[in-house]
Structure 1
Amino acid sequence: MSKAPGHQKWPDHKVQEQHMGQRFQVEINGELIADSDDVIRVEEDQHPPRYYFPRSDVRMELLERSATTTECPFKGSAHYYHLKLGDETFEDAVWTYEDPYEEHYGLKDRFAFYNDHFREIHIEGA
């Protein structure tokens, strides 16, 4: 685990994490995908708020790991998953940080959902 190069290079860029302390659910196209009372809300400059759910509270049988990865200079390498609901596949719609930078270690192995990948997504509690 190492320090985030982004925080060193752009110290004014804010990435704030907050444990919500309440129950959150993700429902997509009428199907419950995640349900947890251990959610971290991340607010990052120039990005919409994202909610990170523990792996144990996400229906992993609906996810299929993709080959896509991206690099965030603040949080680390993101690994993506396709979400399969019935006959529909939402590509690279879910991501996780398996080995985040030290400043955001609390996000390790948590999953977040791209709201804009779905026609109908509801994050209850948000």
Structure 2
Amino acid sequence: MATTTVQAPGNEAHFMHVKPVSTRVRVRRGERVLAESGNAIRVMETGREPYDPMIYIPQSDVSGELATVDGKTTHCPLKGDASYFTLDGEEIAWTYDRPLEGSGMLKDHVAFYPNKVTLEEIGADT
């Protein structure tokens, strides 16, 4: 996958660049490994302002410890409706089960709140 640019319909100022992560990614909470993947993607989104880059990991590479939050969804005009996951009762991650047209690369991927986990890019230059 090369870098892909997706623009929100009717809003040229809201867009994202999506590209593969060139390293292996590990997500930890304390000593617990919640996800590890060599197939993650990085999303760099700009709306009213640039957002911090987010890494999305294939759901198949995420621990089964996460529980789905029943009923909570939010909407992004660029990506679609997000649903959420908890760990030990705390909301920790989200996914786009049915992303909007153009954002299909996010389907079956999970992003974690960076302030609630440790995200390591294994093999990245330091």
Instruction: Give the drift of 1:71.
Output: 0.4
1:70 is displaced (CA, Å) by: 0.3
Shift of 1:122: 1.6
Number of the residue aligned with 2:37: 36
Matches within 5 A, 1:5-84: 7-45=8-46, 46-60=50-64, 62-66=65-69, 67-84=71-88
CA deviations over 1:56-89 (Å, ceiling 9, x no partner): 10002x11111210000000000111112xxxx3
Unaligned runs of 5+ in 1: 1-5
In structure 2, list runs of 5 or more residues that go unmatched: 1-6
Which letter maps to 1:124?
E
Larger helix proportion, structure 1 or 2? 1
Deviations 1:75-111 (A, max 9, x none): 0000111112xxxx322x2100111012110000100
Q: TM-score, normalised by structure 1?
A: 0.82
Which portions of structure 1, spanning 4 or more consecutive aligned residues, are displaced by more than 4 angstroms?
Answer: none
The amino acid of 2:16's aligned partner reads V
Within the alignment, does 1:122 sit opposite 2:118 as a pair?
yes
CA RMSD of aligned residues (A): 1.5
The whole-number CA distance in structure 2 between the counterparts of 1:53 and 1:122 is 14
Please tell me whether the aligned partners of residues 9 and 78 of structure 2 are also in contact (alpha carbons under 8 angstroms).
no
Greater strand share, structure number: 2
Kindly indicate whether structure 1 or structure 2 has the higher relative contact order, using CA contacts under 8 Å at least 6 residues apart.
Answer: 1
What TM-score results when the alignment is normalised by the length of structure 2? Answer: 0.82
Which residue does 2:102 correspond to in 1?
A: 103
Q: What SS does the aligned partner of 1:11 have?
A: strand
Q: Distance in 2 between matches of 1:109 and 1:101?
A: 13
Q: Deviations over 1:11-38 (max 9, x none)?
A: 1322111111320000111211000000
